[in-house]
Amino acid sequence: MPKMKTSKTAAKRFRKTGTGKLRREQAMRQHLFEKKASTRTRRLEGDVAVHPADAKKIKRLLAER
């Protein structure tokens, strides 16, 4: 059976921590820079954990078994 390829789109959106958890950027941030309050932009900065219900699917996309 051939090896599973890494989904490059998923690789750009998610990253794995040293302990094996998955992290992601928060949505809706990039287009807020221009005309929205900077408090809203700061609230959305930083990574957040991926929801446990999605973690199994994302790990499969990243070809980590």
Model pLDDT, residue 28: 83
Does residue 29 form part of some domain?
A: yes
Q: What is the pLDDT of residue 65?
A: 52
Considering the domain boundaries, does residue 1 fall inside one?
no
What CATH number did the domain enclosing 41 receive?
A: 4.10.410.60
Whether 3 maps to a domain, the answer reads no
Q: Does the pLDDT at position 21 exceed 60?
A: yes
Residue located via tokens 């199994």: 56
Q: How many angstroms separate the CA atoms of 60 and 27, rounded?
A: 22
Does the structure show a pLDDT above 80 at 33? no
Give me the residue label for tokens 């998955």. 22
What global pTM score does this model have? 0.76
Whether residue 36 is contained in a domain is answered as: yes
How many C-beta neighbours within 10 Å does residue 55 have?
Answer: 15
Domains identified in the chain, total number = 1
Q: Span 42-59, mean pLDDT? A: 93
Q: Which domain holds residue 41?
A: 8-61
